[in-house]
Structure 1
Amino acid sequence: MHEREFRAFVSIAEIGRMDQAAKALGYSQPAISYQIKCLEQMLGTKLFTRDSTGAQLTREGRMILPSARAVLALIDSMKGVCAAA
């Protein structure tokens, strides 16, 4: 699992659309779809249902969202410590 996959996951969960999340993160839509596919394969579950209106979290996606946010907060904290050193 990679930071960019967690950032993509959280961004899509918050925005509700892959295309807009991709734009917000500076990725192409195919790139963000690939990151989610990789994360889903690693976790062995679908994280989103997708349709013409956007992407909605599955039950499993809702369950891991707090952990993904915590991972990103820890990464950001570690980056802050290194930047201050």
Structure 2
Amino acid sequence: MSDKLVEEMSFEEAMSALEAVVGQLERGDVPLDQSITLYERGAALKKRCEAKLKEAEEKVAAITLGEGGEPTGTTPVEGL
């Protein structure tokens, strides 16, 4: 398990760490206390992935297209 803070992870890092957590929990070979800690980390990782996806969706939605379908620029998205 990485010691990197969840808040500092990229989407890819968080997704990979989440997959590792899920794998450990599915195997069921960890003590109950550790399972609870893993579950909490998994919830934080899921939240991080959702936030990064939302950021990406907002950026994509802000791209404006010209007549030929080519990007002509972006419009500011509130909060970014």
TM beyond 0.5: no
RCO greater where, 1 or 2, for CA within 8 Å and sep 6 or more?
1
Question: Normalized per residue, which structure has more helix?
Answer: 1
Provide TM-score, normalisation by structure 1: 0.36
Which protein has the larger Cα radius of gyration, Structure 1 or Structure 2?
A: 2
